[in-house]
Amino acid sequence: MSKKLLLVDVDCGVDDAQALMMALAAPEVEILGITCCHGNTAIENVCRNVLRVLHLCNRMEIPVFRGASNSILGEISPVYSHFGGDGLGDVGDADSPGLEHLQEEDAVHALIRIISQHPGQVSLVALGPLTNIALAAKIDPTISKKLGKLYIMGGNLEGRGNRTVCAEFNFYLDPEAAYIVLNEYTCPTYIASLEFAHGSSLPLEYFKDWVNQDTVKAKFMKTITASYSQKEFVSYDSFAMAAAIDESIITDSMECPVSVELHGSHARGMMVLDTIGKWKKQHKATLIKKANMEKFKQRLWTALV
């Protein structure tokens, strides 16, 4: 059986690392490339973090591409605090590969090239702000017809945010990019929203058992999550990745036209749902509502084996 072809776009913080490690542990998947975007930390740190994960997993053959260092309008002042200043808990790693391991080609052109080389076969998993993916559509408007499927971690369903009152982190960091992607990409699109992720949290007992496995990968995860202080474990990006690897993990969803609010003084960056068909929009996104949590937990567990 041929492997599923994935491209992964990340702003590599702790949860991106978890999602990447999940994909790297999946034998049915081939990762064609990893593109880096601003978000959880500065772009140089994002690139270093991806290389660090690949080195840990002995997968340095996967090409890594540097992408956008800021939003399309360049207006967001980043605050790098959720996963530490460097995105991976500020624990450092003297043996981490250097940026000379990056490809010379930039992320946006790499996305266009790789998707064009495999028309209809590639699933793109977007785990950070959508800047690279929006820019790819502006350079090559045919890209959405060539892309097989798009899986996004981002957006919100009920107007309650985690970056602002009304906006989710990834969409708020580049609202214009999110708007472009949700309105110009017409391939099958799956969205793992903020509310879905929160509603699918795992108990801290699972998290503790997970990071206390006697493996090099588990020790790495335990180190970069040492300051983790939440009451439940939410691996946000891993939900979109798990769905891309095995779509049967989705047990309940709704199809709906979606867009992004750009002009509201309070709601800028909020995902908007047309549940009553006012827009007469043909393309509908699949909004994930529930997942098979036993399958999800097994995917996460295997990521650290």
**CATH number, domain with residue 178:** 3.90.245.10
By the 10 Å C-beta count (0-12 exposed, 13-18 middle, 19+ buried), 2 is classed as exposed
Task: Tell me which H or E stretch contains 218.
Answer: helix 216-224
The set of residues, in sequence order, having a beta carbon less than 8 Å from that of 260 and lying 6+ positions away, is 155, 171, 175, 178, 179, 182, 269, 270, 271, 272
The pTM (predicted TM-score) of the whole model is 0.97
E strand or H helix that includes residue 16:
helix 14-24
Q: Which string of b and e fits 17-30 if b means at least 16 CB within 10 Å?
A: bbbbbbbbbbeebe
Residues with Cβ within 8 Å of 228's Cβ and at least 6 positions away in sequence, in order, are 207
Cα separation of 163 and 170, whole Å? 9
d(CA 188, CA 140) in angstroms, rounded, equals 18
Domains identified in the chain, total number = 1
* Rounded-to-integer distance, Cα 81 and Cα 176, Å: 23
Contacts of residue 77, defined as CB under 8 A and 6 or more positions apart, other chains included, come to none
Whole-number Å distance between alpha carbons of 253 and 32: 28
The pLDDT of residue 227 is 84
Separation CA 295–CA 155 (nearest Å): 24
- Structural domain range at position 244: 4-303
Place of tokens 């996967």: 62
Closest CA to 198 of 147, 149, 157, 228: 157
| Rounded-to-integer distance, Cα 20 and Cα 5, Å | 14
pLDDT in tens, the chain (305 residues): 799 999 999 999 999 999 999 999 999 999 999 999 999 999 999 999 999 999 999 999 999 999 999 999 998 766 667 788 899 999 988 788 999 999 999 999 999 999 999 999 999 999 999 999 999 999 999 999 999 999 999 999 999 999 999 999 999 999 999 999 999 999 999 999 999 999 999 999 999 999 999 999 999 999 999 987 778 999 999 999 999 999 999 999 999 999 999 998 999 999 999 999 999 999 999 999 999 999 999 999 999 99
Residue 94 class from Cβ within 10 Å (0-12 exposed, 13-18 middle, 19+ buried)?
exposed
Residues 9, 15 contacting (CB under 8 angstroms): no
Q: Torsion-angle region of residue 192: left (phi > 0), alpha (psi -120 to 50) or beta?
A: beta
CB contact at 8 A, 134 and 262: no
